[in-house]
């Protein structure tokens, strides 16, 4: 039986991975796609967001073709959660055309891909390609890797630079493993800035890796799928900061805080409170759903740094509680401080 092609979608927090996969599912061109979502935190925000794309339940491949893994990051839990999940999916590969795996923003790609060398998986699936998403506006602003010019000057001055932060190393590892780079949020910068970011990215990538600008996560399925890279067979050509380590450690100070509230919120007021919060705390990502008073629709809220996007995605269902559920990802987060910051009575 044929091997199922698997596309790994990686990228830093807030780069647009979930929105890209959601668009892919809505424009799947008849493909039967199974999706594995790796959450960071206990509240399944990304998986639920993907399920709202209105096409997921139409696939006969599985009872639900969106599978959430919430036990940490995939690169640390491939044996505990990923392996049994893949084994179950592979039993149904005659009813699947492909799979897509969305890694968490803190996951290293290579440990996950190495799992495709295991005998239990190798005979049934292959990594068709690794697509790394990069937030153009955030990189230009120095949010992720520092000022572009300063970083480049430092690297030219010291080719053996070894004091990058764990986040910078993660970003570089995600780039090093890519078969394709999607440069997202390009509509939020001017043409000169976009060109500058692309030039810098090109200096970090092998010549064969293409950079594709993308806005609103709208990218054709033909570009994302069918790369035929068989990545698990050429991992040696994709260097990583962790290649010589038996295991790797994440920054233990980076955690998630899950907030579930019965209160309703006024969107502009909540966003203002969150903007004030991110000025005082080191928060990388905010995502979730908000209950808005007198609104029958659920509000999707996503924040990266000081930038917030929000929109209504669907009506609240009769069987689901109308709750505000938010996940905060950052360094040394304090749950009580977060609750105080978004208290509607404040």
Tell me the pLDDT tens digit for each residue of 288-299.
899 999 999 999
CA torsion sign for 93, 96, 98, 103 is negative
Q: Strand 297-304's sheet: what is its strand order?
A: 254-261, 324-331, 283-290, 297-304, 307-315
**Pair of tokens at residue 174:** 């995600």
Cβ distance 281 to 337 under 8 Å? yes
CATH superfamily label, 4-237: P-loop containing nucleotide triphosphate hydrolases (3.40.50.300)
Q: Look at the pTM and tell me if it is higher than 0.85.
A: no
Rg over alpha carbons for the chain, rounded to the nearest Å, is 20
Q: Can you tell me whether residue 273 is helix, strand or coil?
A: helix
What size, in residues, is the chain? 346
State the Cα torsion 38-42-46-50 to the nearest 10°. 90
Cα–Cα distance, 279 to 277 (Å, whole number): 5
Cα–Cα distance, 275 to 304 (Å, whole number): 10
Alpha helices in the chain (DSSP H): 17-26, 45-51, 74-77, 83-90, 109-114, 119-122, 136-140, 148-157, 166-176, 191-204, 221-224, 267-280, 335-341
Q: Over the stretch 59-93, which tens digit does the pLDDT of each residue have?
A: 443 445 666 555 555 555 555 567 777 888 888 77
Q: What is the pLDDT of residue 165?
A: 41
CATH 3.40.50.300 fits 254-341, yes or no: no
Q: Over the stretch 268-324, which tens digit does the pLDDT of each residue have?
A: 999 999 999 988 888 877 888 999 999 999 998 888 777 788 888 889 988 889 999
Cβ distance 86 to 116 under 8 Å? no
List the chain domain ranges. 4-237, 254-341
């Amino acid at each position: 039986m044929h091997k199922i092609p698997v596309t790994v979608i990686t990228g830093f927090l807030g780069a647009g991975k979930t929105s890209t996969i959601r668009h892919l599912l809505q424009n799947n061109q008849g493909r039967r796609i199974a999706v594995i979502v790796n959450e960071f935190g206990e509240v399944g925000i990304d998986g639920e967001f993907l399920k709202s794309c209105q096409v997921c339940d139409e696939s006969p491949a599985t009872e639900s073709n969106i599978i959430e893994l919430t036990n940490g990051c995939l690169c640390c839990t491939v044996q505990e959660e990923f392996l049994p999940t893949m084994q179950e999916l592979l039993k149904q590969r005659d009813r699947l055309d492909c799979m897509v795996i969305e890694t968490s923003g803190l996951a290293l790609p290579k440990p996950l891909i190495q799992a495709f060398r295991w005998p239990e998986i190798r005979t049934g699936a292959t990594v068709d390609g690794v697509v790394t998403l990069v937030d153009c506006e955030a990189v230009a602003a120095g949010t992720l890797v520092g000022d572009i010019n300063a970083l480049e000057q430092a690297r030219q001055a010291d080719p053996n630079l070894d004091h990058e932060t764990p986040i910078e190393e993660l970003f570089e590892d995600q780039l090093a493993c890519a078969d394709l780079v999607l440069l997202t949020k390009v509509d939020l910068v001017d043409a000169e800035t976009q060109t500058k970011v692309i030039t810098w990215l090109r200096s970090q990538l092998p010549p064969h890796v293409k950079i594709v600008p993308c806005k609103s996560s709208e990218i054709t399925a033909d570009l994302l799928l069918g790369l035929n890279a068989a990545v698990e067979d050429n991992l040696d050509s994709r260097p990583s900061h962790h290649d010589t380590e038996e295991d790797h450690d994440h920054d233990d100070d980076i955690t998630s805080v899950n907030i579930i509230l019965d209160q309703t919120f006024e969107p502009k007021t909540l966003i203002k409170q969150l903007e004030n919060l991110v000025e005082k705390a080191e928060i990388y990502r905010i995502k979730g759903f908000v209950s808005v008073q007198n609104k029958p629709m659920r509000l999707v809220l996503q924040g990266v740094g000081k930038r917030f996007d929000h929109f209504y995605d669907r009506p609240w269902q009769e069987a689901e509680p109308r709750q505000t559920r938010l996940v905060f990802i950052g360094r040394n987060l304090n749950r009580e401080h977060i609750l105080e910051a978004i208290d509607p009575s404040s």
